[in-house]
Chain A
């Protein structure tokens, strides 16, 4: 599976400038911008409160993430019209990673729910537990769901299924 089929591979994600690099992934909670096409769009750059996302000019530049500056605040997740931004804390605990993702389906999951972790092709690949569900008015119905998964799945899980 690859971009032309609608599904990015992890390798494709790691090659795009929205990938903060292993260094920061290991160290902190950080945004991953899975934005691989030169479409004219820049709200992520404007919303970032610490200037960690750079699109610049022309507006079709792919967003570049500065892992150093990123605080993992989640603001970019809900503003991205492509729902292509995820915030990952790989070393959330010894065994688990946390993934914050945009969610726009009903019913919403609840904190503590046990759900399935879906990969970019929608395949259920692991169990996940919902840690946090944040529905802010200013995010205009894009809810940010944070889940906990076993570390080995932190770069593959990008959606959830509520059984």
Chain B
């Protein structure tokens, strides 16, 4: 194993990557995390709301507190974290090309976990390039990480959990959410999140879309209209809304480019947000030395990402001889059970079915 710089390279220091690192390092795997950002934690430090789930696993705790707990563990375990460092390619024999501090470096790892997360889907409408049209992720970074309010009167586009949560957080930050538009005829996120913003007076306009952002040099308003069942704007229903920020929250897709460079087999799974690398029940991709975990394997919650990260972490430990197959079986059974629980219910149902289909497809088909 001496030829390797590290036993495990993890790309992405979000909830999945951090949990993979903690499990692996705890079992004695020499672990290196690479993240292109200046701070580790991924999206966790933007999440100022309390998490749902099982009381045993972080439920009722705010996202950034969970982030802090994970980083403390990473530090205690002595995991090497390379920040401001971008992984840009995969070569033979576990060689990863990384770029940081002005240098291109090779990093040779026995195993790699790709946990690059997801990226927001854009929404194109007239005026969408005006300053003041922002993705929900950017808005969250500004208000929750940097303490900067990007607008005072907001139109939110999208009633998924992200749109609802960020609306609530904008109100907490001192903005007024003038309206939330949703093209579907019903709220698509959880009722509890919708309930929080409704009782603060945010009108949710169902079967409505944004047609245009107005303004010369920046957003000064929005034109919204009612849509029919095929999501076409109904003539004569246009309304002008006086806003200075249009926040777009219309979904995410897995960030798969690196896994694609590593020749991981991909498939389009619409129920999980788009193209994603297929994986087995232990999060191993079609490339036997590469694991994937978190939103790259399908858009879910941070809580599922953490469990998938753990699964990848213990599986790498087994691969490099730090964990017996028997103990691995025992540990993975617990994690599988947690994942099963997190995907229960009408909101998790489709995700669970998609995941089961992926695992069935990829089973026993590793490309050596």
Contact = CB atoms under 8 A, between A and B. Distances in A.
A83 interface: yes
Given A4-B187, A123-B201, A40 B195 contact: no
A4 B188 CA distance: 8
B55 A37 contact: no
B52 A83 contact: no
B42 to A, nearest CB: 19
B47 to A, nearest CB: 11
B347 A39 contact: yes
Interface residues of B, number: 41
Contact of A81 (B59, B341, B342, B347): B59
A36 B61 CA distance: 21
A142 to B, nearest CB: 7
A163 interface: no
Interface string A100-133: 0000111000000000001111110000000000
B53 interface: yes
- How big is the A interface, by class? 35 or more
Interface in B188-205: 190-202, 204
Interface string B48-60: 0111111100011
B195 A42 contact: no
Interface in A37-62: 37-43, 45-47, 58-60
B186 interface: yes
B190 A39 contact: yes
Contact of B199 (A38, A41, A82, A120): A120
B192 A83 contact: yes
Contact of A118 (B201, B343, B344): B201
B50 A140 contact: yes
Nearest to B205: A5
A38 B52 contact: no
Overall SS of chain B's interface? loop
A3 interface: yes
Contacts of A140: 50, 61-62, 65
A37 B54 CA distance: 15
A158 interface: yes
B102 interface: no
B62 A40 contact: no
Contacts of B61: 140
Contacts of A41: 52-54, 59
Contacts of B49: 81
B345 A6 contact: no
A43 B191 contact: no
B52 A122 contact: no
A79 interface: yes
B199 A40 contact: no
Contacts of A74: none
Given A81-B60, A140-B62, A7 B195 contact: yes
Contact of A121 (B55, B185, B199): B199
Contacts of B60: 43, 47, 79-81
A84 B194 CA distance: 11
B59 A5 contact: no
B59 A60 contact: no
A152 to B, nearest CB: 18
A101 B180 CA distance: 24
A34 interface: yes
B206 interface: yes
Contact of A40 (B65, B196, B344): B344
Interface string A126-161: 000000000000001110000000000000001101
A59 B54 contact: yes
A122 B187 CA distance: 17
Interface of A: 3-8, 34-43, 45-47, 58-60, 79-84, 104-106, 118-123, 140-142, 158-159, 161
Given A40-B342, A120-B195, A142-B50, 9 more contacts: A8-B191, A8-B195, A39-B347, A40-B52, A47-B55, A81-B52, A82-B190, A84-B192, A104-B172
